[in-house]
Structure 1
Amino acid sequence: MTPPPGPVTVLPVTGLPEVAAGDDLGALLDAALPQLAEGDVVVVSSKVVAKAEGRALRGVTRDEAVTAETVRVVARRGPTRIVETRHGLVLAAAGVDESNVEPGTVLLLPSDPDASARALRAALRASRGLDRLGVVVTDTAGRAWRQGQTDIAVGAAGVRALHDLRGSTDSSGRVLDVTLPALGDELAGAADLVKGKATGVPAAVVRGLGADALLDDDGPGAAALVRPADEDLFRWGTAEARAQGARAAVGARRTVRSFAPGAPDPEAVRRALAAAVTAPAPHHTVPWRFAVVETAAARTRLLDAMQAAWEADLRVDGFSGEQVARRVRRGAVLRGAPLLVVPCLVSDGAHDYPDARRSAAERSMFVLAAGAGIEALLVALAAEGLGSAWVSSALFCPDAARAALDLDASWEPMGTVAVGVPAAAPPARPERPLDELVVLR
């Protein structure tokens, strides 16, 4: 049985002199630290680490420094930027600081906080003759959905920055499935109770942790606390999420020809359809209709009718039986899709013109509106993580498609969209030469 935890003590480290570039921070800490014991954790502000490493810059504005340290803007409101730094940390202003430095100076985070923690741990272990000693480098950060700031671990050595308790049992014997305490951040927050910018105490010692909180080696560091991008459900701020999501969905819209088994989420399809009917339309009309083909019987009826019409056209064109069969096999993408959507154009509200020129333009305007609705559907499906393929066959046999689905005579099928979960990620689209496709006047 694991013994109950004992008391934890947090001791401020006072007497540390002002740190300048090139100072031996390990030696300065060693001179100021109290007597250390096996299992102690020394918690140091990133500010003094950065000063010693020469990360203070003059002649650079804070905004310029933030831009230089940023790899991704997560959210922006007015002059405030929440960004991802080169370290993978998401912080306001990239952790760039102007407090407790000379006027006209900005202070960046250490270049590699985990490496800084490892160096300090090695120096202190050697000078104090200790085996199990932890070091945590901290910085101040806000938290989403929470007011105020607290210190977090940006560097660590010799400490389980992330204490994985999954698979162990609680006091009632239940298996823990998701329990993953951020011990590095808890140590940073505890140490901040006795240190801080206003008091001029940049370091503390946390004593009394359980033996399993310390490591024999340096360990993975605070990098273990950075959530991988593919697990990040909140990767963007609200406005940025809308913009990034829209751009990502447009780029993700690819023709998918192979689908995984099983029907797509009907709510996701419904959301995509709701997005499709927001496309632009002429004369304040609603020119789109969508026939959603869910049942196997309706799908077979539709596809058999379209195939028969296609085969008849090919025979009229003089193709042999073998050639007809080979061409028809190209339509297999619709047969293999778990869901079909037949977009239709309804021209109610179109203006009548006495001449052919304007009548043709009016017709084109409505067809373009139908195409906008189809494209909106395809992009919205991609945003929902679904694959799609627009196949034009229903355009060439509208009567057969209408009859197979028992649609109103005013509905003009504009092709068929195969929908489902992609069987595999589509290959990357090669970049198209924009200067060959766009002219400027």
Structure 2
Amino acid sequence: MNQLAVLPVAGLPEVAAGDDLAELIAKCGGFEDGDVVVVTSKIVSKAEGRLVRADDREAAIDAETVRVVARRGGVRIVENRNGLVMAAAGVDASNTPAGTVLLLPEDPDRSARTLRAALQRLTGRRLAVLVTDTFGRPWRNGLTDVAIGAAGLRVLEDHRGRRDSHGNELAMTVTATADELAAAADLVKGKATGTPVAVVRGLADAVTEEDGPGAAALVRPAAEDLFRLGTSEAVREAVTLRRTVRSFTDEPVDPGAVRRAVAAAVTAPAPHHTTPWRFVLVESAAVRTELLDAMLAAWRRDLAGLDGWSEEKIARRTARGEVLRGAPYLVVPCLVMDGSHSYPDARRAAAEREMFVVAAGAGVQNLLVALAGEGYGSAWVSSTMFCRDTVREVLDLPPGWDPMGAVAVGRPAAPAPARAPRGIEGFVEVR
């Protein structure tokens, strides 16, 4: 069993821009082969000249931010350019002169590699270096130090494929060794003792000859991050990601995902405490084909009797529905007027129906956004509204169910093109 010692490196002077940090640390500490030197990022930043004038800390945070993860009041959790998700992008206004802020090292892994090379040259020892900063953590109160830069250390210990003491194969366990060492070192560094460097001794097996991938290996890829956004940010991103998809892969759609989307759909607002939505899930390929063939025949019959509608024009118009045929799953949202009020005049009766139509649209929007959150593309096509009797007949729907289009669902065959930013100008009038 490894026995670890965590030793403070005392006596470091105040660090300023241009100082040789490795020389300062080497003079103050005693080192052995296999030691891990843990350095608070603040002194790395000071030595690298990352103390900048900034009367507006928020502007400095903006400059360091790549993406806002979550915001509540004046608190922002953001992703910085190194992929670190943290409060205020790591911009620090504590223990700095008035009107200045301290930024994180521009490239913490590069800083760790540079510092390691210099320390090994000065001490003649085989060392690893961690650059650390203080993070909050989801679901846990309190702060702890984590590694934001690393050199010469296996930052992750992969236990997958090994067996525990009961013979069970480990399938998920990957230990963040670098973060564990950063937290341990902070116990002797502390925030108020003025000791920004510590040495962890006793883990020489984790110290490597090469610099290694650095702390960048600790950053979870976006595709694997199930908690990438805060609540309001996730809603906004899902709304933005909800794009009309017209080409799908053959991958089957998870019926459970669609049902979760329907559960979101039926939370939409509706008049008179009603539930004016019904969702027909067309999961059978045979039923989809029967429905689309019947709809196409109905469209052709209707259009063929109209002046100016040539066979070519009819073919162009009905081809728009091919997006439904190419999807592996269809949802037919229907409007029901159960609970609506009766009025003797046509104007009020029409307005009553409009309220229910708006509620149905809100339900469909919820459905589309929830499907985007599940990773599915969709296209809301109006076709069924033009042949409702045909749709009701094929799907055996009650007479009071009015199909409100059809939603094609599936995995997008290709990424949607980037959406140009759209401001609210032109869509808002203030009175």
The TM-score, its normalising length taken from structure 2, stands at 0.85
Change beyond 3 A, Cα 1:127–1:76 = same
Aligned residue among 114, 119, 135 for 1:119: 114
1:273 corresponds, among 256, 259, 262, to: 262
Residues 91 and 102 in structure 2, CA contact (< 8 A), matched pair in contact too: yes
1:342-397 residue CA offsets vs partner (Å, 9 max, x unmatched): 2223345254343x555555554444443333333323322332222222222222
SS in 1 for 2:189: coil
Paired residue secondary structure (1:188):
helix
The answer to whether structure 1 residue 414 and structure 2 residue 410 are counterparts is: no
Contact 1:61-1:106 within 8 A present in 2 as well: no
Q: Say yes or no: does 1:91 pair with 2:78.
A: no
Partner of 1:229: 222
Q: Equivalent residue of 1:121, what SS?
A: helix
How far apart are the structure 2 equivalents of 1:347 and 1:184?
61
Q: Deviations over 1:42-61 (max 9, x none)?
A: 22222222222233346636
Per the alignment, residue 149 of structure 1 pairs with 143
Residue 360 of structure 2: aligned partner:
370
Overall identity of the aligned pairs, in %: 64
Length, aligned pairs only: 429
1:329 deviates by: 5.3
Equivalent residue, structure 1, for 2:123 = 128
- Structure 2 vs 1, CA of residues 255 and 37 (structure 1 numbering), >3 Å: closer, same or farther? same
Distance 1:371 1:248 in 2: 20
1:432 CA displacement: 6.2
Q: Residue 330 of structure 1: CA displacement? A: 4.8
Is there any run of 5+ residues in structure 2 with no aligned partner, and where? none
Please tell me the root mean square deviation across aligned C-alpha atoms, in Å: 3.3
Task: Note if 1:343 corresponds to 2:351.
Answer: no
Any unmatched runs of 5+ in structure 1? none
Q: Distance in 1 between matches of 2:245 and 2:393?
A: 27
Amino acid in structure 2 at the alignment position of 1:265: D
Distance 1:316 1:273, change over 3 A: same
Distance (whole Å) between structure 2 residues aligned to residue 184 and residue 61 of structure 1? 33
Deviation at 1:410, TM superposition (A): 2.1
Contact 1:16 1:29 in 2 (8 A): yes
Q: Which structure 2 residues correspond to residues 394-433 of structure 1 after superposition, within 5 A?
A: 394-430=384-420
Q: Which residue among 355, 378, 383 is the counterpart of 1:388? A: 378
Residues 158-187 of structure 1 show CA distances to partners (whole Å, capped at 9, x for unaligned) of 222223444556567765443322221122
Aligned with 2:35 (options 12, 34, 40): 40
Q: Which has the larger radius of gyration?
A: 1
Which residue number corresponds to residue 28 of structure 1?
A: 24
Normalising by structure 1, report the TM-score. Answer: 0.83
Amino acid aligned to 1:14: A
One-letter amino acid matched to 1:379: V
Query: How far is the alpha carbon of 1:22 from its aligned partner?
Result: 2.4
Any idea what SS the aligned residue of 2:129 has?
Answer: strand
Distance in 2 of aligned mates of 1:196 and 1:156: 20
Cα distance, 1:90–1:248 mapped onto 2, change above 3 Å: closer
Contact 1:100 1:197 in 2 (8 A): no
Give a deviation string over 1:58-101, Cα, whole Å, max 9, x none. Answer: 66365554444333333344444333333322233333445555
Distance 1:83 1:389, change over 3 A: closer
The residue number in structure 1 matching 2:300 is 311
Amino acid at match of 1:221: G
